[in-house]
Amino acid sequence: MNPDIHGLWPALLLPVTADGTLDTPRALAHAQRMLEAGCDGVTLFGTTGEGPAFTMAEREGLLEAMLAHGIRPDQIIVTTTALALGDAIELGRHASGLGVHRQMLMPPFFFNQPKDAGIIEAVSQVVRGIGDDGLKLLLYHFPFMSTFGFSHAAIAELVRRHPGQVMGVKDSSGDLEHSLALARAFPDLSILVGAEPHVAPVMCQGGSGSINGLSNIAPRLMKRVMSAPDKVSQADEQLILDLLKLLSIKPGMPFVGVYKAMLAEQSGDDAWLTMRAPLSPLDNTELQTVRSGYRALGAALSHL
């Protein structure tokens, strides 16, 4: 396990008000709950957090609010993904200036299937532009979202160009063999997976942990899995699968909306149901199906 970025860092769900404004007080309270539940830190403005839908000012403002609230800089991974490289650089500089050196970047994705050379240069420009010797950058591999990913050759070249700054990969491919191959090929990097059922097997092969959505709902469950990945109980394995089944209990539901519905049911706070456009909340049938499915898990929910 690479020690630079390791452990459980929930891909933090972010609450918004009825008019789509970022709800900072609820976001702060949610982040604090994650830390109190034993998470190593939180990840801001990833895909689960609807990150690309928020302005730079909103992203910078929430990061500042988190730090003012008492969350330490080393407890935050901030996602700096932006369509314009200059915006990604500004977000990274802002975070680094506040002492938040753990950052995550998906390269611009408005051109489909760029060549490795372009991906490498895009990331290199961001790293050079941030100009932070203490930067600990995770390459955000999410081909379903970006239409391309980081090849092994691109990862190796970025590590060669930026030793001590490009620290690892967040693998959201959902492909266990891909994640295992990363862990085997790059034993000196932090390899964190997004697919919850893959966390334990990848950690057993040298993976460093996870950034995932389910930990918003079940941080203690995911922390148990990661504390002893070679001894995960059958009950915990099944509970993870049962919770994830709710994501597809009806076809076509946005996964962020399902997680927000589960959190609303768990917390009793329906303010969590609101989404930032262009995403939209679950319709009433979808919502009631998710809520009833969640409640059906019964006593197992006390172990989340």
Q: How far apart (Å, rounded) are the C-alpha atoms in residues 8 and 35?
A: 10
DSSP 78: E
> How far out from the chain centre does Cα 278 lie?
19
Q: Block means of pLDDT (10 residues each) for the chain, length 304 residues?
A: 86 96 98 98 97 96 98 98 95 98 90 89 98 98 88 98 97 98 97 98 97 98 96 96 96 95 97 95 96 94 86
Report which of 254, 256, 243 is spatially closest to residue 16, judged by C-alpha positions.
Answer: 256
CB–CB of 45/78 below 8 Å?
Answer: yes
Q: How far apart (Å, rounded) are the C-alpha atoms in residues 175 and 86?
A: 32
Q: How far apart (Å, rounded) are the C-alpha atoms in residues 88 and 38?
A: 30
CB–CB of 145/110 below 8 Å?
Answer: no
Strands 102-105 and 190-193 turn out to be unpaired
Residue 1: predicted pLDDT: 63
- The percent of residues in the chain predicted with pLDDT above 70, rounded, is 99
Strands 76-79 and 209-210 turn out to be unpaired
Predicted confidence (pLDDT) per residue in 179-208, tens digit: 999 999 999 999 999 999 999 999 999 999
The model carries a pTM of 0.96
The token pair that represents 48 in the structure block = 């689960």
Predicted confidence (pLDDT) per residue in 293-303, tens digit: 999 999 889 88
Residue 148: predicted pLDDT: 84
